[in-house]
Amino acid sequence: MDGSKALNGDTAEALLGGSGARPAGRSRLFGYVCIFFLVITWISQSEVAQAVETTSYNRPYIITWINHCLGLLMCLVSMGGSARISPFKFLQGGKMMWQVLAICIIYQLADWVWYIGLTGTSVADGTIIFNTMSVFVFLIELGLGRRKLNMRSAFAIAISLVGVVVVQKTPGRNNAAPDGGCMSQLGGNLLVLAAAILYAVYQIAVDEVVPGSDMGLTNAFVSASGLITLTMLWPAALALTMAPKSGCLYEPLDLPPPEAAAGLALTGFLALAFNVFFCLCIVYTSPLETAVGCMLTVPMGLITDLMLHGDPIQPSAICGSTLVVVGFLVIAAQSQSSDKGR
């Protein structure tokens, strides 16, 4: 354990009086259940957000800001654990506040860049690129000395990525980005790649600040993140009103039309659920397992496209989805073996 990890762990564990040990057994099984619901909320939120942005309210930063602010509502919910911790207590001491602020900025940028990137590329291409975040998680952890180079892990990630590419080889028509966007497809792809890297950094950072598997601590982190986003990240929305109107960054500050209000409310609820499950997945499994588990959005997306858009499931999609699931199971099995050996 490196010095920064120990410092962050001591700060968070002081709120609980616990050891912040990594979960095993039933706790890890709970983490896999959270991954399942993470995939469900991801697909649902993406469908609703895409409908809102493409029909009546294309405000990527404002939508992202609202969604992340809703995490503050978690301070009203008791999720169990050893204690119920307020976001103010979680942020006690300047160092923890600045750490959470940095994480919130990374997360805000990741979602914002993702939404902007989708205006220049297709959802299919964006999904392929975004799911490379498991590779970046693996490389970051390798660079930090938190994970050793293991052929099984590398193989699992590789076959999962191959599965993603195979699945998206013949995307449905509904995935095509609208014409007349403000950037080229190359620009959109690069922004989605940046979002994947930022999400990888976010996962590692959450794992550093929330080292234990206590649901009360995770709840406090989510609500503290919502509080900081609400109070400290709104000035960027003002800055975007001064961006060139012909560019991709310009966002006027206006109220959504009535037809978009219901969609925004539903998007916010799903985004809140996603944020909670995302953090729970990280602390109850690992950043790498969470990243690889997110690849399960690919087969889930296929089912959604079939049900909502009538896109047939191609044989290549079945093959690719199988590779994705196998890669996830290999990572999960290896993580369980690592826990038993500790």
pLDDT tens digits, 26-58? 577 888 898 999 989 988 887 787 778 767 788
More confident residue, 21 or 290: 290
Six token digits for residue 172: 């449905």
Give the number of domains in the chain: 1
Is 20 a member of any domain?
no
The answer as to whether 278 is a domain residue is yes
Per the rule left: phi > 0, alpha: psi between -120 and 50, beta: everything else, 181 is: beta
Chain centre distance of CA 175: 20
Residue 110's pLDDT is 93
For residue 159, give its domain range: 3-13+26-172+179-337
Indicate whether 18 belongs to any domain. Answer: no
Q: What angle do CA 189, 192, 193 make, to 5 degrees?
A: 85
**Terminal CA-CA length for the chain:** 13
pTM score, two decimals? 0.74
> Is residue 342 one of the residues assigned to a domain?
no
pLDDT in tens, 182-211: 667 677 778 888 998 999 999 888 888 776
Q: What percent of the chain has pLDDT over 70?
A: 72
User: 318-331 in b/e burial notation, b at 16+ Cβ within 10 A?
Assistant: eebbebbbebbebb
- Whether residue 5 is predicted with pLDDT greater than 90 in this model: the reply is no
Residue 55 lies in a domain: yes
- 21 domain residue, yes or no: no
In a domain, 39, yes or no: yes
Beta-carbon contacts of residue 116 (< 8 Å; ≥ 6 apart): 60, 191, 248, 249
